[in-house]
Structure 1
Amino acid sequence: MPRQVPTFSLYGETTDEVAEFWVHAESIPSRSRLHNWEIKPHRHDALFQILHIRCGSGEALLDGIWTRLHPRSVVTVPSRADHGFRFSPDVDGSVITFMARRLPVRSAGGPDFRRWLSSPRHIELDGDDPDGVYLAETLSRIEREVSAGPAGTPDLVEAYLASTLILLYRLGGGRQQGSIATRDQARFDRLVSLISDNFRSHRPVEFYAERLGLSSAHLNRIARLVSGKPTSHLIAERIVGEAKRDLVFSNLTVQLVASGLGFDDQAYFTRFFTRQTGMSPRQYRAREMARLTA
């Protein structure tokens, strides 16, 4: 009888327990040095992982085969895929883990893309290729944003992840259906930045379109292409994300949270938050505080 491969969560938590904190990043040495530079074969039921080696070397067990990893190697591991790693003691890089159900590009890629993501992949980034350079820097940016904790920007992380997976698909030999043009990706990245700067002012979609020199319809097309969501949803998600952090990580009253997010009327804020999340701000705070103290 074959030896059973253990199934792990990120830290043993259930899906419900990490629903709000859906992405994690850590350096490769931080965990592997504790296990003599070897992560034994295992799988994750609900997690998708991206491993990036900046320097050093290693091996990855993918589909039952050990594959050599060199500097600028990237490995993607979908949920339920058996995998393991061995690293040299001089390795440096990161492991980014996120809930597979939050995969940020379901709508951006066609069925070929989704099939490509459903199997483990190993891609060597070319240091002379602009996309390879961009990917390496983007993975480092994701690590920094996630490591910043509440100070990080979830929408930016999600946009970075979408860019990363689409470009990995392209560089890994996948046949991209309706690939995102570099100009559209740059416009989307600028949109995310503008939303981060202006979401407290409750600017309409037309404001962002004008700042980018686009029509509202064109901006929505780009937003849907990259994220699968219209611009209005991205704005609402940014407001709700900030509200959630204030409710969990501060002692501010709901009225002060609302005021800090540009809502003059607490009742309107409560209706907005409830419409977006399915629960009132007070209910959300009580649920998350119960989880944190459990």
Structure 2
Amino acid sequence: MSRHSPASARTNSSSADIPNIDIGQAYDQHYVDAEIHYEQLEKLANFFGRNMPVHHHDRFYQIHVILEGTVRVHLDETSYTVNGPMFFLTPPTIPHAFVTDNDATGHVITARQQLVWQLMGDLGITRWGNNGTMNSPLCVALTPDSNPSAQRMLYLLNLMSAESNDTGMVNIVALKALLQLILIDITRLSDQNQQKQKTRKEDVRIFHRFNELIEAHYHDHLPLAQYSQMISVTEARLNEICRRLAGLPSKRLIMERLMQEARRLLTYSSAPITEISYQLGFKDPAYFARFFRRNAGITASQYRENKN
């Protein structure tokens, strides 16, 4: 998932300038007074278009679930580009806009604010109230193969799609029950997403700190254990973070920095190779020669000749 906050996506006008779309009145008169409305994404896209300009839904929550395709969505002042399966939630009055691929499929649920608060309140979950944290928009990628909450949520949406074919009293009760279960999964996925974001930020901090230490100590030939101690992480975690963020193991990043400096000195310095090996912290020039050839595929002398 990519995320950014471009100036073009920011909403500087007041909420009164942003269109308020009432699904019941604008799309389906059968739902003018309904508490919950379900529709397939494709049908709404055929009616409103694939490029929805900025708008909001007064006193309504809306959940968009994209099963296939890509969506570019602007939620308040933040923009995301996400491939399905994913969902984004917009609380009442939150301005949002989105563009979906022509072949994107999915589900759209629109539910009255009071119904959502009631359903969550019945479970003792109060985060959906006036000052609740869930009044912030959400954009979450779904991984049903590895996440039971995501798998269950997609299953419940299929059940809701089947129930929406009839609007009898029993079906309305069933829709509310399914919505309550979906909201539970959304709170779980939101918690997991927030934890992932915290973990991701911490991993990035560790990665940057490791690179700072490499820059300061690569010529000291410190063991990886010493780097780990200075960052207060295990060698295994440091290695996992480096592989995930840089595509290289942690030891390789240290060697790459050493090789970068060796290449620079061989190219731009006229100092003898023996002296360069000492500058790089090698106590034995012969060891530097083996190190360079193993990593460059040619000797240091050949490398220098090729650059001249």
TM-score when normalising by structure 1: 0.53
Matched, 1:42 2:92: no
Structure 2 match to 1:137: 155
User: Counterpart in 2 of 1:167?
Assistant: 185
Q: Does 1:56 align with 2:69?
A: yes
Question: Offset at 1:26?
Answer: 1.3
Distance 1:132 1:174 in 2: 11
Aligned partner of 2:141 in structure 1 is 124
Q: What amino acid does structure 1 have at the position aligned with 2:134?
A: L
**Are 1:147 and 2:165 an aligned pair?**
yes
Rounded to whole Å, the distance in 2 between the matches of 1:68 and 1:93 is 16
* Deviations 1:240-263 (CA, angstroms, capped at 9, x unpaired): xxxxxxxxxxxxxxxxxxxxxxxx
Alpha carbons of 1:63 and 1:20: their partners in 2 closer, same or farther (altered >3 Å)?
Answer: closer
The unaligned stretches of length 5 or more in structure 1 are: 176-294
Superposition TM-score, scaled by structure 2 size: 0.51
Provide the C-alpha distance between the structure 2 equivalents of 1:106 and 1:151, rounded to a whole number of angstroms: 22
Cα distance change of structure 1 residues 164 and 173 upon mapping to structure 2, 3 Å threshold: same
1:26 aligns with one of 39, 44, 53: 39
Counterpart mapping for 1:85-100 below 5 A: 85-100=98-113
Gaps of 5+ in 2: 1-11, 194-308
| 1:146/1:152 contact within 8 Å kept | no
- State which of 175, 187, 207 in structure 2 corresponds to 1:157: 175
Q: Say which SS state the counterpart of residue 69 (structure 1) adopts.
A: strand
1:75 equivalenced with 2:88 (yes/no): yes
Contact 2:24–2:34, Cα closer than 8 Å, also in 1: no
Q: Decide whether aligned partners of structure 1 residues 44 and 36 sit closer, same or farther in structure 2, where only a CA change above 3 A counts.
A: closer
Partner of 1:106: 121
Number of matched residues?
173
Q: Distance in 1 between matches of 2:19 and 2:171?
A: 33
Residue equivalent to 1:213: none
Amino acid at match of 1:106: G
**Residue 42 to residue 20, structure 1, CA distance change in 2 (3 Å):** closer
In structure 2, distance between residues paired with 1:5 and 1:89: 25
RMSD, matched Cα:
2.7
What is the letter of the counterpart of residue 133 of structure 2?
W
